[in-house]
């Protein structure tokens, strides 16, 4: 998804992303439009944390790329896709 701070904030706040890429450039702009608005985080334990994070130099920028909690992603999909619900049941039964 490409967009401004409002779009990014909404997607991140609602956890509507699977992978997030952030670019850090050696440029200091000063005050201006924020990239991400208020996510409602009041404690560090509420912060959005990325998993399987990779840091990569791209030209003169650093790309930080990571995934939201993959277990939550799978749980959300399983609850909404009938064939995944069945697969989850089969997997649980075979584990017993």
User: Tens of pLDDT along 37-62?
Assistant: 888 899 998 888 898 899 999 999 99
Total domains, the chain: 1
Question: 2-16, 32-46, 52-66, 80-94 — which is least confidently predicted?
Answer: 80-94
What is the per-residue pLDDT for 82?
64
* 18 falls within a domain: yes
* 29 falls within a domain: yes
Q: What is the pTM of this model?
A: 0.62
* 17 falls within a domain: yes
* 78 falls within a domain: no
* 49 falls within a domain: yes
Is the distance from CB of 27 to CB of 71 less than 8 angstroms?
Answer: no
Looking at beta carbons, which pairs linking 12-19 to residues 24 or more positions away fall under 8 Å? 12/36, 12/39, 12/48, 13/39, 13/40, 15/48, 15/68, 15/72, 17/68, 18/67, 18/68, 18/73, 19/65, 19/66, 19/67, 19/68
* 43 falls within a domain: yes
Nearest alpha-carbon partner for 73 in 89, 50, 53: 50
| Structural domain that includes position 39 | 5-69
* 37 falls within a domain: yes
| pLDDT surpassing 70 at residue 87 | no
Sheet holding 51-58, edge to edge: 19-24, 61-67, 51-58
* 61 falls within a domain: yes
Indicate the DSSP class of residue 46: G
């Amino acid at each position: 998804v490409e967009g401004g701070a409002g779009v990014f904030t909404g997607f991140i706040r609602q956890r509507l992303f699977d992978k997030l890429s952030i670019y850090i450039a050696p440029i200091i702009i000063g005050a201006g439009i924020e990239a991400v608005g208020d996510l409602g985080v009041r404690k560090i334990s509420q912060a959005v944390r990325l998993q399987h994070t990779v840091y990569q130099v791209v030209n003169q920028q650093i790309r930080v790329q990571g995934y939201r909690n993959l277990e939550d992603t799978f749980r959300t999909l399983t609850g909404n896709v009938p064939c995944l619900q069945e697969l989850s049941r089969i997997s649980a039964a075979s584990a017993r």
